[in-house]
Structure formats: structure tokens, C-alpha cells
Structure 1
Amino acid sequence: MKRFRNHHDWMLLLGLGLLLLTTTAAPAAAKSNLTVTTNLPLTTSGNTRNYLPTGTDDLYSKLPISKTTKVQTKAAVLKNLKNASDSGQTYFRGYRAAKLSNGKWYLKVVSFDKTYRGWIYTGTTDPTNDPTQVSGGLQAVQTFKEQTVPDYVATTTFYFTTPKASTLTYVAPDYTDYKVGRNLNATTDFYQDPLTVTKVGSKQNGRSANLTYYYVNDAAHPQVNGWVRISDVSTSPAS
């Protein structure tokens, strides 16, 4: 067995051994950065781009092209939004689509109440032509569904239930479309006008307990025309 002449020789050999061990045992760090190959606005009708989160993927503030990209909202938080008992504030509207170099697509979304905004994984299918074809962190949903107007409703004259400021008409029922809502802030001045119902529809996905709305026409004051909750009309004029 070779004997070392002095302490210096021993320390030199030990240092060389540690260097060799470090060099051979530690592999080079894998490159984690990706690139964005497509980033386009979604141009189809807004109501083809409404979603609820599935709760399986995080929402990112920026496209996750590196491991340092920050999570905006955790998947566990988004999962609670899927079955939220709200009026529809937590629906998401998609407005951009991006593809990364690994073949994954992400949509940029904003919640109807603007509380949540960011990028979320939606699978490997191109959503730009048909934004309903998503998977991963989003599921496409219908927020409001129209039904056939029953004959007894179509032939009945209605009135606003009470002359109060909180009775509203809507271009689209509240939180069923992004940035589309009130048509009339109050019906106080029109509560004795006769109304006819030309459309019937209901909220979906448990929002507002799938509340039903009537679309009412006011022949005397057409500016009143719009959707109204069925609880806000009756067959007798208020006194």
C-alpha cells in the first residue's frame, strides 16, 4: 500500500477524489425552458368561450415556459369554483390561446367578476377554431339555455311585481355573459306597463339554483325590453 510522504500529499489526493466524485455523480441540469410557438386571440362568438375550471390544473400569471413561472391560483382553489353556489361570477371567459413547444395548449381566461385571470392548460388539441374542444383545466359550459315559451305564458299579460329600484331588466341575465348585463337599472317608472313574454330561459350549472328568466316586451316603453327574473313579474299590476 502506497504511503503518503506528508499531509500535503494526502490533502491533494483527497481534493482530487472529491472533484472526480462531484464531476461524475452530478449530471448536468436539464434545460427546463420552453418556447411559445403560437399565441392568438380567440375570435369565435363569446358564448362559445365560457368555461368552468375542472380543478386539475393551476392558473398561471404568465405562460409556464420555465419552472420559475409563478402560479396565480392553485388547482385546489379552482376546484371549489366548479360547483360554487353563486350567480355565475366564477365562470371563465377565454380570450387567447397559446401553444408551447412541447405541444401543450393554454388558454388565457378571466372570471366574469374579474377576480381570476391567467393562463391554464387545456390539452393538446388546437382550440382556436372550436374553443369548446378543451380538456385539462377547463370544461366548456353553457351558462344560459332558452326553452320553448309555454302557450299560457305567451298569451298572458304580465306586470312588474312591485315598483322598486331593485327590479331590473337585462340584455343577458346577470352573470351569464361576460361584461353584458343590465339593460335598465330600475323599473320604478314602468311598473304598471303591460308586458308580453317572448322568450324563456334558465341559468345552468346550478348558478342561482338554475333560475328561470322571462324576456319581456313593453310596447309603451321599448327601452324596458329585456330579461327579468320570473319572481319580478306577476299577472296583476301593482297598486
Structure 2
Amino acid sequence: MKKITNKLILGIGLVLAIGALTPTLTHAAAKSMTTVTSNQVLTTDGNSRNYLTTGTAPLYSKVPVYKSSKVVTKATVLKTLSTTADAGQTYFRSYRAAETSNGDWYVKVVSFDKTYRGWIFAGTSDPTANPSEVSGGLKPTATFEESTVPSYFSNTTMYFTTPKASTLTYVAPDYTQYKVGRNLSATADFYKDPLTVTKVGTKQNNRDGNATYYYVIDAAHPQVNGWVKQSDVTTSPAN
């Protein structure tokens, strides 16, 4: 039997040490090899790309396969935003999508008030053709829904409640669509105009208390036409 030398013992120990490290090194190498395989602008209708955050994933500055990517908004903050009772400022709109080599999808989103922006995990389904096919940190949502106009309005004339500058009409009710808002910045000059209600709808997800809006037509001044909050119109003209 060969004599076991110190050199042989040292060699065996080195082999065992390398073997023990191999799984860790392999895993780290595999993780670092994940890459972005596509990164594209989303072109589907903007109304189909509105979301609430779920609070299960944070916002990143870049797709998080990059070493320079950082968390810009924590998941706990996004969880709070998902149930806030604001007017709709914290809805999110997606505008880019990226796929990684391991099959994950990330989308770049911005809040309606532009306070929050970044990349967020959106599951393993392709959101470029069907934006509702997301999971992870986002869930699709309706921000505003129209309903049947009550027959009451067919014979009812409406007027702006008071001649105040803060009464506005909107192309889309405020914070129900990204970058689509006011149509007329003040209605003080038109407060005595008769208005016809042609559409009715409500905000969703307890935004602004699920406020009701009317779409009004001003025959005398068509530039006024737009959505107005229910509380800003009445059946009697102001004095």
C-alpha cells in the first residue's frame, strides 16, 4: 500500500473543495447569463393597457437581469397604491415590454400622474398582442365604465351648477386615461347654456368614490362638449 503523503492529502482536499463549490458557481453563472431577448414598444390600444399594481413585485429602473438595475418603488408601496382612494392618479399605463431568455416578461409602466415609472414583472405570457395577459405585479383594470342613459334625460335640460372657473369638461373623465383629460379648462362663460346629457358613466375601483360623470352637449357652444362630474350640473340655471 502506497504511503499517504501530506502532498496527496492536500491534493484530495483541494478536489473536494472545488467539488463543493461547483453547484454554487454554476448557479451564479446561470443566473448571470439571463439576458433580454426582446424589448419593444407596445402598440395596442391604450385603453387596453391600464393596470392596478398587485403589490407582489417592485418597480425597477431597468429590466432586473442587468446588474445596474435598481428598485425604484418597493412592492409594499405599490400594494398601498392599488387600493388608494385618489381620483385615479395611481393607475398605471404600460408602454414597453421586454422578454428575458428564461421566458419572463417585464413591462415598463408609468402612473397616470407620472409620479411612478419603471419596469415590473408581468408573468410569462406575451403582453404585446394581448395586454390583459399579465400577472405578477400587475392586473388589468377598467378605469371608467359607461352605462345606459336613464330615460329621464331625454326630456331634461341640464346646466352647470355655478359660474365657477373650476367646473371643467373632459375628453375623458379626469385620471381615467393616461394623458387624456380636460377638454375645457373653465365653463364660467357658458354657465347659462342649456345642456343635453347623451352618456353616463362611473369611475371604477373606488377612485373618487366611484363618481358619476355625464357627457353633455352644448348646442350653442360645441367647444364645451365633454364629460362633466355629476355634481357640477343641475336642472336649474344659475342666477
TM-score by length of 1: 0.90
1:98-129 deviations in Å (ceiling 9; x for gaps) = 11000001111000011111111111111111
Q: Secondary structure at the match of 1:94?
A: strand
**Aligned residue for 1:106?**
106
Matches within 5 A, 1:41-120: 41-66=41-66, 69-120=69-120
Q: 3-state DSSP class of the match of 1:79?
A: helix
Q: Distance in 2 between matches of 1:147 and 1:24?
A: 67
Q: Which moves more between the two structures, 13-22 or 93-102?
A: 13-22
2:223 aligned counterpart, secondary structure = helix
The CA distance in 2 between the partners of 1:37 and 1:84, in whole Å, is: 35
Question: Residue deviations 1:165-212, cap 9 Å, x none?
Answer: 010000100000000101111100000000000000000011001000
Of 63-72 and 108-117, the range deviating more from structure 2: 63-72
- Show structure 2 runs of 5+ residues with no match: 1-5
Q: Secondary structure at the match of 2:156?
A: coil
1:69 Cα offset (Å)? 2.5
1:225 has 2:232 as partner: no
Question: What is the rounded CA distance, in whole Å, between the counterparts of 2:231 and 2:207 in structure 1?
Answer: 16
**Structure 1 Cα separation of the partners of residues 207 and 58 of structure 2:** 23
> Which of 18, 21, 38 in structure 2 is aligned with 1:26?
21
Could you give the per-residue CA deviations for residues 78-113 of structure 1, whole angstroms, max 9, x where no partner exists? 000110010000000011111100000111100001
How big is each residue's C-alpha offset from its partner over 1:45-76, in whole Å with a ceiling of 9 and x where there is no partner? Answer: 11000000011111111001146531111111
Please list every run of 5 or more consecutive structure 1 residues that lacks an aligned counterpart in the other structure: 1-9
1:209 matched to which residue of 2? 209
Q: Which has the larger radius of gyration?
A: 1
The equivalent of 1:37 in structure 2 is: 37
Q: Percent identity at matched positions?
A: 66
> Which moves more between the two structures, 32-41 or 218-227?
32-41
Whole-Å separation in 2 of the counterparts to 1:55 and 1:165: 38
CA–CA separation in structure 2 for the residues paired with 1:68 and 1:218: 54
- Return 81-90 or 146-155, whichever deviates more: 146-155
Aligned counterpart, 2:150: 150
Residue 238 of structure 2 aligns to a residue whose secondary structure is: coil
> In 2, Cα distance between the equivalents of 1:167 and 1:66?
47
**Structure 2 partner of 1:4:** none
Aligned to 1:7: none
Q: How many pairs are equivalent?
A: 229
For 1:201, the aligned partner's letter is G
The code of the aligned residue for 1:46 comes to G
How many Å separate the matches in 2 of 1:149 and 1:191? 23
What SS is found at the alignment partner of 1:26? helix
- Structure 2 counterpart of 1:199, one-letter code: K
Alignment TM-score, normalising by the size of structure 2:
0.90
Alignment correspondent of 2:196: 196
Question: What do you get for the CA RMSD once the two structures are aligned?
Answer: 1.9
- Counterpart code for 2:134: V
Q: 2:21 corresponds to which letter in structure 1? A: A
Q: Which residue of 2 aligns with 1:184?
A: 184
- Report the equivalent of 2:3: none
Aligned to 1:6: none
**SS in structure 1 of the partner of residue 77 of structure 2:** helix
Which is further off, 44-53 or 147-156? 147-156
The DSSP-based 3-state class of the residue aligned with 1:154 is: helix
Amino acid at match of 1:162: T
